[in-house]
Amino acid sequence: MKFKKGDEIIVTIGKDKGRKGKIEKVLPKLNEVVIPGINTYKKHVKKRNEKQIGGIIEKVRSMAISKVALVCPKCGKMTRIGYEVIGTEKYRICKKCKQKI
């Protein structure tokens, strides 16, 4: 998977299009990422007892990686990710400015 925890991304498709955020969690088996404050939904919760109150709560859901793009920390543009092997090390590179990410 090309995305890692802590990467800055921009949403390209959906209701949050154009919003930026940092990846909090990566779910490689589902090909999804969790970004706080993006892709939030409201859930109606029924009161269960005195301790658990009812009401409307906001939940953050995971988002498909096909709907997000990486923002390069060097050039600040939305970019794709490539790989470069130097010696025995493999690095992620920005396709626009060719710098290591």
Domains along the sequence of the chain with CATH: 8-94 (2.30.30.30)
pLDDT number for residue 69: 96
pLDDT bin (cut points 50, 70, 90) of residue 53 is confident
- pLDDT of 50 > 90? The answer is no
Displacement of CA 80 from its chain's centroid (Å): 14
Read off the pLDDT of each residue in 86-99 and give the average, rounded to a whole number: 92
Dihedral sign for Cα 76, 87, 5, 26, please.
positive
pLDDT number for residue 88: 92
Prediction pTM value:
0.83
Average predicted confidence (pLDDT) for the chain:
93
Distances from the Cα of 34 to the Cα of 9, 14, 17, 64, 76, angstroms: 11, 15, 15, 9, 21
| Least confident piece of the model among 25-34, 46-55, 58-67, 86-95 | 46-55
Phi, psi dihedrals of residue 10, rounded to the nearest 5°: -130, 140
